[in-house]
Amino acid sequence: MLEYAGNWLECRNRNCGFPTRVPYSCRTKKVAGRTTDSAPFLFACPVCLHINPYENKELRRVRFRWPDPYKTGKLVLYSALVGCAHPLCPTELTIFTPAASTVSLAALLGLWKSWTLDIQCGRHRFRMRNNESWWIQEEKSLAGADC
């Protein structure tokens, strides 16, 4: 039987824990046994819509029986560049999330309005700006670049 290497990312929301398949990422490439990039990334769970920071080591290598849905065009990994709505705050965060390729961006934006993000931004809590101002693009990997 054919097997395909891929990664699972398990939702950190304890009431959810949903494992999402994510595209192979250069974040998981190792050089001399060490990961090259250990910066955390923000990932929105497609099930409970909670956004949490994750690290490379939370990506679990799994052998799948079906091909990478990102390569076959069934799933798309999006990144949204979201500014903080706090007055004068320059912070912008990149949030990754997967979606079925058949769902329109307009429908996704309707869903992403319900994203829950609870992180500090300097001295205040990060507040997402209206999603009309987000910069959304398709990504090949969680590294945010084609690698």
Give the CA distances from residue 33 to residues 59, 63, 132, 135, 143, in Å, rounded to whole numbers and listed in that order.
16, 20, 42, 35, 19
Centre a 10 Å sphere on the Cβ of residue 99 and count the other Cβ atoms it contains: 19
Query: Residue 39's closest CA among 144, 147, 146?
Result: 144
* Residue 85 interacts with Zn ion (CB under 5 A): yes or no: no
Q: How far is the CB of 30 from Zn ion (least distance, A)?
A: 27
Which residues lie below 8 Å from residue 142, measured CB to CB, with a gap of 6+? 22, 23, 25, 27, 41, 43, 59, 77, 96
| Residue placing its CB nearer to Zn ion in the complex, 46 or 69 | 46
Report if residue 121 touches Zn ion, rule: CB under 5 A: yes
Q: Residue 29 CB, nearest distance to Zn ion (Å)?
A: 26
| Given 16, 81, 111, 147, the residue binding Zn ion (CB under 5 A) | 16
Out of 13, 35, 36, 131, point to the residue binding Zn ion (CB under 5 A): 13
Q: Does 18 bind Zn ion (CB under 5 A)?
A: yes
| Chain residues that interact with Zn ion, rule: CB under 5 A | 11, 13, 16, 18, 45, 47-48, 84, 86, 89, 91, 121
